[in-house]
């Protein structure tokens, strides 16, 4: 008997889940960074000032991060510098609002988490963790599904990040994602039922990674939802591809390079039929880059992670957060991250190949 399936099963439970009652304070020092970088000096930006950015590192203004500033500073700041560099954040079209919020960083809210469950139909009692921003009533609800043979713990990073920006997020343990009980249509139905149960009159975003992206696509095709986000989704028997033409809500999909764990990149064919979708491949990324966190169970069998995994994680955090706020909370300024030519988009555009 081959050992690979057994190893994969063992791998899926190696991350110890956080106490679901834990309170995870993420602080309130998220920089909106909305000033305009209108430096008047003309030096060539080779200074080695060590301004501490929101990452906590000390940039030397000569690093290789792609930023909207011409000084290649790894900050997303568009602040008025006094360090003598000649940033170019104001060189774009004068009709374009060049300010933006850096959604790569944690938001202003602390995050509370609690465990619950729902009789979601199909014989499924859906256990989930609800992440909520502290001290505010969330205007948007996100239901976020994990991938095949995985668990909600591998979506916890995305959930906490979104909640820190004022969004409620539920991460379920999908009932039909195992080696012996896979049922993709049932996953779609139960995810949809969770979204409906938690809506409470708010816009609902259905989202997922891998087979969870397929579940989210199938849920979106049932109606009742406002936004679809798919992280390296994987289709099965063209279920998602066949459902896609019926979806007419704002949709964003971020894809890894074709590999052994994403159906050789079949998410592209699945999402492409959705009208008006935002569909991008992130060069050099793997299936595991779209978990947060990931573990050896994914990296061992699914091509490891990107050589720039941390940068990719921050970019995905910004892109999914901005898309949720843009289309879920009607915050048009958040669309800057998806607008070519805007300084916010310039931070991530080198990581995105449009499809």
Q: Are 103 and 337 in contact (CB under 8 A)?
A: yes
CA nearest neighbour of 213 among 115, 132, 291: 291
Q: Which range among 4-18, 94-108, 222-236, 318-332 shows the weakest confidence by mean pLDDT?
A: 4-18
Q: For 98-136, how does the pLDDT look when each residue is reduced to its tens digit (9 = 90+)?
A: 899 999 999 999 999 999 999 999 999 999 999 999 999
From the candidate CATH numbers 3.40.50.1820, 3.40.190.10, 2.30.42.10, 3.40.50.300, the one assigned to the domain spanning 106-354: 3.40.50.1820
| Domain residue ranges in the chain | 106-354
Question: Which residues touch 137 (CB under 8 Å, ≥6 apart)?
Answer: none
Q: What is the pLDDT of residue 172?
A: 98
Q: What is the mean pLDDT of the chain?
A: 81
Q: Rounded to 5 degrees, what angle do the CA atoms 48, 54, 56 make?
A: 65
Q: Are 250 and 322 in contact (CB under 8 A)?
A: no
Q: Are 235 and 263 in contact (CB under 8 A)?
A: yes
Judged on CB neighbours under 10 Å (0-12, 13-18, 19+), 34 is: middle
Token pair for residue 123?
Answer: 């014989």
Exposure on the CB side of residue 297, measured as CA atoms within 13 A: 21
Is the pLDDT reported for residue 12 higher than 70?
Answer: no
Q: What is the pLDDT of residue 95?
A: 62
Spatial strand order of the sheet with 251-255 comes to 23-24, 111-119, 125-133, 168-172, 141-145, 204-209, 227-231, 251-255, 278-281, 353-354
Q: For 280-313, how does the pLDDT look when each residue is reduced to its tens digit (9 = 90+)?
A: 999 999 999 999 999 999 999 998 999 999 999 9
Rounded distance, CA 96 to CA 111, Å?
33
152 in helix, strand or coil? Answer: helix
């Amino acid at each position: 008997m081959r050992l690979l399936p057994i190893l994969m099963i063992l791998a899926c439970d190696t991350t110890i889940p956080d106490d679901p009652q834990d309170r995870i304070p993420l602080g309130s020092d998220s920089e909106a960074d909305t000033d305009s970088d209108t430096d008047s000096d003309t030096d060539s930006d080779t200074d080695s000032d060590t301004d501490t950015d929101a990452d906590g590192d000390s940039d030397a203004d000569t690093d290789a991060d792609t930023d909207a500033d011409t000084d290649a500073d790894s900050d997303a700041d568009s602040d008025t510098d006094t360090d003598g560099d000649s940033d170019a954040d104001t060189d774009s079209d004068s009709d374009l609002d060049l300010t933006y919020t850096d959604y790569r960083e944690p938001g202003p809210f602390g995050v509370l988490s609690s465990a619950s469950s729902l009789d979601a139909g199909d014989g499924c009692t859906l256990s989930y963790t609800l992440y909520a921003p502290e001290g505010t009533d969330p205007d948007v609800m996100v239901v976020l599904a994990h991938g095949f043979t995985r668990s909600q713990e591998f979506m916890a990073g995305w959930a906490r990040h979104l909640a820190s920006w004022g969004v409620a997020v539920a991460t379920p343990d999908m009932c039909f994602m195992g080696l012996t009980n896979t049922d993709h249509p049932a996953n779609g139905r139960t995810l949809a039922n969770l979204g409906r149960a938690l809506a409470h009159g708010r816009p609902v975003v259905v989202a997922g990674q891998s087979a969870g992206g397929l579940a989210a696509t199938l849920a979106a095709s049932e109606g009742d939802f406002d936004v679809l986000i798919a992280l390296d989704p994987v289709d099965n028997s063209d279920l998602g591809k066949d459902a896609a033409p019926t979806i007419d809500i704002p949709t964003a999909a971020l894809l890894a390079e074709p590999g052994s764990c994403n159906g050789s990149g079949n998410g592209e064919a699945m999402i492409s039929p959705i009208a008006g979708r935002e569909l991008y491949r992130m060069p050099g990324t793997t299936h595991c880059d779209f978990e947060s966190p990931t573990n050896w169970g994914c990296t061992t069998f699914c091509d490891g992670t990107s050589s720039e995994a941390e940068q990719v994680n921050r970019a995905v955090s910004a892109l999914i957060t901005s898309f949720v706020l843009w289309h879920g909370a009607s915050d048009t300024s958040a669309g800057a991250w998806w607008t070519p030519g805007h300084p916010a988009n310039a931070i991530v555009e080198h990581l995105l190949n449009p499809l």
